[in-house]
């Protein structure tokens, strides 16, 4: 059963990823991204990380992708990129080589290190019929005891990010070029 789930989720993930990279229309790309995110969420569930799956859907697929779509709308929906040409000639072959090399190295590392991973942690509480919140509770305990400082800092980070973006995206009174880019 898990195998089927895995294969379906993997197919979703890969299809979405390829869609993001290969579609010229940005809206199509954004929708492919949603597909990927859903696939990832499914995989989270199959590994008993339910809380994260929920957060993934709500935050990533629900907020971030929406944000992307808003910006696409702002900048023009029909601004499709011309995928035929590539001004930097070497970039595509180089990217493919690098990508393949990278993946090969990583897979080699994974396969080689397979036996080195031994059980060592304190155990993961899995949600069961009697205890629906086991996973959430465990993550919460971890965050609010071990990582409470990081938690506080990330809250500050969120505020800073929001304020900064509001300042950044303001339209200036004068219309002069803020960043000297080639037209």
Q: Does 42 participate in binding another protein (rule CB under 8 A)?
A: no
Q: Looking only at residues 85 through 104 of this chain, which bind another protein when binding is defined by CB under 8 A?
A: 86-88, 91-92, 94-96, 98-103
By beta-carbon proximity to another protein, the closer residue of 114 and 173 is 114
Helix axes 65-75, 26-46, angle to 10 degrees: 180
Residues 18-37 that bind another protein (CB under 8 A): 18, 20-21, 26, 29-30, 33, 36-37
Task: Determine the length of the chain.
Answer: 183
Number of H helices, E strands in the chain: 7, 0
The interface with another protein within residues 118-177 (CB under 8 A) comprises 118-125, 135, 138-139, 142-143, 146-147, 150, 154, 157-158, 160-162, 164-166, 168-169
Backbone angles phi, psi at 133, to 5 degrees: -100, 15
Q: Which is nearer to another protein, 1 or 129 (CB)?
A: 1
Q: For 123, how many CA atoms within 13 A lie in the half-sphere containing its CB? A: 4
């Amino acid at each position: 059963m898990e195998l089927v789930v895995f294969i379906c989720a993997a197919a979703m993930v890969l299809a979405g990823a390829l869609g993001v990279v290969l579609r010229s229309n940005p809206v199509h790309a954004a929708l492919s991204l949603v597909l990927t995110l859903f696939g990832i969420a499914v995989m989270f569930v199959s590994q008993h990380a339910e809380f994260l799956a929920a957060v993934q859907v709500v935050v990533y697929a629900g907020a971030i992708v929406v944000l992307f779509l808003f910006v696409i709308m702002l900048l023009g929906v029909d601004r499709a990129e011309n995928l035929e040409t590539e001004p930097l000639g070497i970039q595509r072959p180089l990217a493919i080589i690098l990508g393949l090399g990278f993946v090969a190295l990583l897979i080699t590392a994974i396969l080689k290190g397979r036996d080195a991973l031994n059980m060592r942690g304190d155990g993961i509480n899995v949600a069961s019929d009697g205890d629906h919140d086991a996973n959430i509770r465990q993550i919460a305990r971890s965050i609010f005891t071990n990582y409470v400082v990081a938690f506080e800092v990330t809250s500050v980070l969120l505020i800073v990010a929001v304020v900064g973006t509001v300042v950044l995206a303001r339209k200036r009174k004068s219309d002069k070029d803020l960043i000297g880019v080639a037209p």
